[in-house]
Amino acid sequence: MNEHLEQLKEIRSIMERSSKFLSLSGLSGISAGICALAGAWYAHNKIHIEGLYHLFDPKVRSEIVPFLLLDALVVLITALASGIFFTVRKTRKQGLSVWTSTSKRLLTSMFVPLIAGGIFCLGLLYNGFFWLCFPATLVFYGIALVNASKYTVHDTFYLGISEIILGIIALFLAQWNLWFWAVGFGVLHIIYGIVVYFRYETK
């Protein structure tokens, strides 16, 4: 009886590995969250020190927006680099390949909403709706995670829903958007990373 149960578990594990990319490292989420918090802290200090919190003023916005875009780009690059590093390291330890049909589907599911969201945010910037970019990035990123959760650990779905909810709330509290952004991309990522690490990587 036990032997049959073990065989069923093994078959289920093989099927799951073939349909889902389970090599995402929890450390990737933690490192991405730390990068986001560092970027948000730096942006907050820059705005506060220079007295540029009145970002609805076109003149003020023209001074600070390029800085914030550069800050966000640095955060994105460092978060991606650390995420790739930890995921590749975990995959190699498992003796698996990173670039599989499942990982391709995962990336496709994520990048369609992300690219659409990126273009949408550029449109907001172009038309002067700067503050809407913060909640928009959260919402589109959340949609990307929900979309991609079919191909990885189910915890990703809950992270995506949380990002969407946070983004919607941020739409009505524009003065706190940087804080919402820090919570969404920073704190939630760290919590997600810790959960994934202890649930799937310490067994």
pLDDT of residue 77: 86
pLDDT surpasses 60 at 5: no
Q: Is residue 18 part of a domain?
A: no
pLDDT surpasses 60 at 197: yes
| Average predicted confidence (pLDDT) for the chain | 78
Q: Among candidates 115, 44, 108, 36, which has minimal Cα distance to 78?
A: 36
CA distance 139 to 145: 10
Q: Is residue 155 part of a domain?
A: yes
Q: How many domains does the chain have?
A: 1
Domain housing 144: 26-200
CA distance 117 to 111: 9
pTM of the complete model: 0.79
Q: Is residue 166 part of a domain?
A: yes
pLDDT of residue 183: 93
